[in-house]
Amino acid sequence: MEFEGIVYKVLPPVSGTSARGEWKKQEVVFELPNEFSRKICVTFFGDKTADAASLKEGDPVSVSVNVESREYNGRWYTDVRAWRIVKKSAPAPEPDNMPPFDPAPFPASETPIASEEVDDLPF
């Protein structure tokens, strides 16, 4: 499975020792931007934790994951494990079609106009 999203939060790495040896993991929360933004927490195991550590909040990425559910004591648990991550370039802002701002668009008048000389009011 693959999705594109934005890094929402990089959680601290976790490590430990099991019967099979030492392990380390790091979880990253991604936001999927659309009409109803959703968040997905993805786990990076082993050497993939280096990829997760290089991410910063706000980075646009494409993530390939394996989704697996397993049962333990009558309850079901779902893991989302990343196996590849590709950083995307941030979208370029759209150029403005407006001309640059000119603080003095009209030339200053050399001779001031007296208020009694100009009477263009209809009443």
pLDDT tens digits, one per residue of 64-112: 999 999 999 999 999 999 999 999 876 555 555 666 666 665 565 555 5
**For 26-58, how does the pLDDT look when each residue is reduced to its tens digit (9 = 90+)?**
999 999 988 888 999 999 999 999 999 999 999
Q: Is 23 part of any domain?
A: yes
Report yes or no on 114 lying in a domain: no
Domain-located, residue 8: yes
**How many domains, in total, are found in the chain?**
1
Query: Which CATH number does the domain housing residue 21 bear?
Result: 2.40.50.140
| Distance between CA atoms of residues 44 and 85, nearest Å | 10
Is 68 among the domain residues?
A: yes
Phi-psi region of 74 (alpha: psi -120 to 50; beta: other; left: phi over 0): left
User: By residue range, what is the domain housing residue 38?
Assistant: 2-87
In a domain, 99, yes or no: no
Q: Is the pTM of this model over 0.85?
A: no
In a domain, 53, yes or no: yes
